[in-house]
Homo-oligomer: A and B are copies of this chain.
Amino acid sequence: MRNANVLGISRGTPIQGGATASPAMQVPDSAPTTMDRKFARLALRLANSPPIALVLWDGQELAPAGKSPVARLRLNTRAALYGMLRNPELHFGDAYSTGQIDIEGDFLEALEAVYRAIHARESDRYASALRWLRSYRQKNNTILKARENIHHHYDISTDFYRLWLDQAGMQYTCAYYPAENLTLEQAQIAKMNHVARKLMLKPGETVVEAGSGWGGLALHLARRFGVRVRSYNISGEQVKFARQRLKQTEVAGLVEYVEDDYRNISGEYDAFVSVGMLEHVGPDHYREMGRVIDRCLKPQGRGLVHSIGRNRQQQMNAWIERRIFPGAHPPTLREMMQIFEPSELSVLDVENLRLHYSRTLTAWLDRFEANLDAVRSMYDEAFARAWRLYLVGSIAAFNVGALQLFQVVFTRATNNNLPCSRMHIYRDHP
């Protein structure tokens, strides 16, 4: 139980029952009252009545009216029920993590059903007005704050991510599955090649990367496409890992990992690339990011931004925002355009890879579950359950269309050195 409570989940109410819960048993709550049952039914109605049965802490089952339930949500304590009513998104995540809530049945199907129900409710006018109000909530990713947010997530431990990411590149971003039966490793390589082809990289060109991750993309671009890459990242642990791995390669002279904020990028480059960093930038800083790109792109330079996105403006799920990705915001294309339009960068190509992220996450989840004992011994049961919820919940969100994955290619408005089609991306395609 090293690094326990790394996600900051409150353990106020101890874990109860269930095969996967903590061994510390407590005195059970008194039997549910009529009032408890009324509030349990209210909780279902507030979630727009998904096809989920609620099981109370004494075993009583409340089935949804007129629907055959796809799963059972077991509330193991009274506190779990009232927490859900107070703050459903945040509390569900925490209560599942700590074992106050269990899901019986297909976890993914259950979360998809809840997403669909909530989503249908959110389409009404009242919810739109609420969303609009909430969208004015300040999110200020100053350089210092950005550092804290990133440390929260990425400094957990490289060993943990190594358990379930691809072995080749340690890519913690959406892979690309242009054909059936690709392994995660193949799909991550396909993604990096897809990015490189969209950028039309030529040997000897220079690339700047905003957000290195563990350095896999920079390394691959140097090795496979013969470019020089300078890659910026504010996660010290990731930079350390990336530098260590780089030393053992034949392209050590072509890649430089810089532990610094992308806003401090200097120099001019043939290409700008950022894969899976924009989610952490925050819309208030998109113009600033555009100015950084404008400053560092050569006259015929190309750029690519790859990010989780939305079809319409929406707040991040409160639990994921609090426990997993502080400061994260998946933008709509309309929001993303604030990067490009003020600096008059010209968008050449946008591709939505939504279902590729569902496949990627499924591959991660399979490896995660296969290594569950190792995860538990690194952290604790609550951490393991939280991470499972995050992975399954993300698959559900991509499957039901609540999240998107956008790759946007751009160049300067005045660059006429453009290919006559996108065929160059597909010539060597599977």
Q: Which of B333, B355, B416, B421 contacts A178 (CB 8 A)?
A: B421
Complex Cα spacing A311 to B420, Å:
19
Query: Contact residue range for chain A?
Result: 35 or more
Complex Cα spacing A326 to B416, Å:
29
Query: Do the beta carbons of A423 and B420 come within 8 Å of each other?
Result: no
**A378 contacts chain B at the CB level, 8 A cutoff:** no
For residue A398, which residue of chain B has the nearest CB?
A: B416
**A295 contacts chain B at the CB level, 8 A cutoff:** no
Query: Do the beta carbons of A346 and B354 come within 8 Å of each other?
Result: yes
List residues of A (320-346) whose CB comes within 8 Å of B's CBs.
332-334, 337-338, 340-342, 344-346
Query: Do the beta carbons of A311 and B346 come within 8 Å of each other?
Result: yes
Query: Do the beta carbons of A351 and B349 come within 8 Å of each other?
Result: yes
Complex Cα spacing A178 to B340, Å:
26
Q: A177-B420, A337-B337 are in contact. Are A352 and B349 (CB under 8 A)?
A: yes
Chain B residues lying within 8 Å of A345, measured Cβ to Cβ, are 311
Query: Do the beta carbons of A429 and B418 come within 8 Å of each other?
Result: no
Complex Cα spacing A385 to B262, Å:
51
Query: Do the beta carbons of A421 and B429 come within 8 Å of each other?
Result: yes
**A422 contacts chain B at the CB level, 8 A cutoff:** yes
Chain B residues lying within 8 Å of A180, measured Cβ to Cβ, are 420
Query: Do the beta carbons of A422 and B351 come within 8 Å of each other?
Result: yes
Q: A401-B414, A414-B400 are in contact. Are A179 and B420 (CB under 8 A)?
A: yes
**A348 contacts chain B at the CB level, 8 A cutoff:** yes
Residues of A within 8 A of B (CB): 123, 176-180, 311-313, 332-334, 337-338, 340-342, 344-352, 354-356, 399-402, 404, 412-416, 418, 420-423, 425-426, 429
Pairs of residues from A and B, 8 with the lowest C-beta to C-beta distance, nearest first: A401-B413, A350-B350, A334-B337, A178-B421, A426-B426, A312-B341, A348-B352, A311-B346
> What are 6 residue pairs bridging A and B, where the CB atoms are less than 8 Å apart in the complex?
A178-B423, A311-B413, A346-B352, A401-B414, A401-B416, A426-B429
| Beyond known contacts A312-B342, A333-B333, A401-B413: 17 more, CB 8 A cutoff | A179-B421, A180-B420, A311-B345, A311-B346, A332-B337, A333-B350, A334-B337, A337-B337, A346-B354, A346-B404, A347-B350, A349-B350, A349-B352, A355-B420, A401-B414, A402-B413, A422-B422
